[in-house]
Amino acid sequence: SQQGEEDPQALSIQEGENATMNCSYKTSINNLQWYRQNSGRGLVHLILIRSNEREKHSGRLRVTLDTSKKSSSLLITASRAADTASYFCATAINFGNEKLTFGTGTRLTIIP
Amino acid sequence: GAGVSQSPSNKVTEKGKDVELRCDPISGHTALYWYRQSLGQGLEFLIYFQGNSAPDKSGLPSDRFSAERTGGSVSTLTIQRTQQEDSAVYLCASSLVRGLNEQFFGPGTRLTVL
């Protein structure tokens, strides 16, 4: 079953604008990760945030985590055409139980 | 190679046939995972290998699915008596050690069962 659900399911924005995607999950987690997938094949890890962290940055990416609301957001600033992809959040429940439970994904399209 | 590799990249088979999907993890990665992604969906966990420990098979959808990992490296996912609902992209990932590490994904095998 899907642990996480991304919102929105699809998002189209102009190049240069910021893109925000949200993820909600159901159970307590040890960490939450965001992945990007191009063309429906391999996934690329973007960022990992632990349950005791509230915000994390990596380049143009900013991730927040609110464990009280069981939600996370991924912000991509100054979007580029190359950011067009599907974005998934994934949760790991326990340390030592590294299998990830993925959400359904947000399809992001950057319009040049 | 530098990344996780999978073969074949595409597999078309007839209903009822058996298929084997192969995964070569990154050298030195002790953990290996198999996931399945149906069209337009997120990833579904199938099975997880960690070193010499017994694998976590909790995600395998039926007893037609099995996987092994030989010598702590290459893994093979076998689907027996394939069904049309088995059609999906099968993704393999590996990570360096047990713990809070990112998973590195292969390009996947697209399985189509006719």
Average of per-residue pLDDT values in chain B: 91
- Which residues of chain B, if any, have pLDDT below 50? none
Look up residue A67 and give its two tokens: 């464990």
Residue A94 pLDDT greater than 80, yes or no: no
Residue appearing with tokens 């326990």:
A94
For B105, the closest of A42, A50, A101 (CB atoms) is A42
Residue A3 pLDDT greater than 60, yes or no: no
pLDDT digits (tens, 9 = 90+) for A23-74: 999 988 988 999 999 876 789 999 999 999 999 999 999 999 999 999 999 9
Kindly state the helix (H) or strand (E) to which residue A45 belongs, with its residue range.
strand A43-50
Question: For residue B68, what are the β-bridge partners?
Answer: B76
- Reply yes or no on domain A5-111 having CATH 2.60.40.10: yes
Site from A41, A46, A50, A104 to mutate, B interface, most B CB atoms within 10 angstroms: A41
Question: For residue A86, what are the β-bridge partners?
Answer: A37, A107
CATH topology for B5-97? Immunoglobulin-like (2.60.40)
Find the angle CA(A9)-CA(A11)-CA(A13) to the nearest 5 degrees.
Answer: 175
Find the angle CA(B74)-CA(B27)-CA(B53) to the nearest 5 degrees.
Answer: 55
Neighbours of B76 (CB within 10 A): 14
Residues of A in contact with B89 (CB under 8 A): 40-41
From the CA of B35, how many Å to the nearest CA of chain A? 9
From the CA of B88, how many Å to the nearest CA of chain A? 11
Q: Which of A2-16, A68-82, B32-46 has the highest mean pLDDT?
A: A68-82
